[in-house]
Structure 1
Amino acid sequence: MRKEYRVKKNEEFQEIFKKGKSVANRQFVVYTLKRPEQKHFRIGLSVSKKIGNAVTRNQIKRYVRQVFHEFDGYIHNDVDYIIIARKPTADMDFYEVQKSLTHVLKLARVLKKSFETVKKAEDRD
């Protein structure tokens, strides 16, 4: 994922925490903040040291980035996202992370309607 698609600065994180909306499930907390002037979504990741060692934390971050890469056409581009991983993510594989993130993004209402039709078609196959 390109650097311009990431939230890196502490001030940006704090602004999203204060002004954005949050939605959570057991594995992830997602903060969203609309940015109408933005052409592409940006994500910020937070994985605490309580979750595991560096290898585990980096793996979780890779999984989350890959999920967002696959959702590229299905999530709104004018939004900043912060994803905070909780402890249960340490024991999850990619597909479990994908399922959990899909669930929390649906709760946040940031997935486009076209995602629903694609997902239903895949489930039938």
Structure 2
Amino acid sequence: MTTLKRNFEFRRAYSRGRSSLTKHFVLYVVKTKKQQNQVGFTVSKKVGNAVVRNRIRRRLKEAFRSIDLTACCYDIVIVARTRALTVNYQTLQSSLEKELGKLVR
């Protein structure tokens, strides 16, 4: 899994990407010319302190890793919401898989 690191990559996904909103996260997907998918995770300070934010980020990363994404050449940004911490892991994973399936065709 290759990650997004630069600010302009995140901004491009926010401005040009297709989005999907759930109770647990907001998902942005934009098609690129790169030969692989890149993913970035964002957790706002509004969600909680560093321990809480890192726990949510770890849960989302693992949920994304477990999904078999066959589509290529996308930048994906996942913005966590507060409910991502308390939701069941299987629910989080299935919700992420369902929303990615809608946006990545």
Fold agreement, TM-score > 0.5: yes
Q: Stretches of 4+ moved more than 4 A in 1?
A: none
User: Aligned letter for 2:39?
Assistant: I
Q: How many residues align?
A: 105
> Which of these residues, 45, 51, 58, is aligned with residue 47 of structure 2?
51
Q: Per residue, is there more strand in 1 or in 2?
A: 2
Q: Separation in 1 of the partners of 2:69 and 2:13? A: 21
Task: List gaps (5 residues or longer) in structure 2.
Answer: none
Q: Separation in 2 of the partners of 1:52 and 1:82? A: 20
Q: Per residue, is there more helix in 1 or in 2?
A: 1
Look at both structures and tell me which one has the larger radius of gyration over its CA atoms. 1
Q: CA deviation at 1:50?
A: 1.6
Matches within 5 A, 1:1-125: 1=1, 5-35=2-32, 37-71=33-67, 73-108=68-103, 110=104
Q: TM-score, normalised by structure 2?
A: 0.86
Q: CA deviation at 1:93?
A: 3.8
Q: Separation in 1 of the partners of 2:44 and 2:65? A: 22
3-state SS in 1 of match to 2:23: coil
Task: List gaps (5 residues or longer) in structure 1.
Answer: 112-125
Q: CA RMSD in A?
A: 1.8
3-state SS in 2 of match to 1:105: helix
Q: Separation in 1 of the partners of 2:91 and 2:10? A: 26
Q: TM-score, normalised by structure 1?
A: 0.73
Confirm or deny: 8 A CA contact 1:51 1:90 kept in the other structure. Answer: no
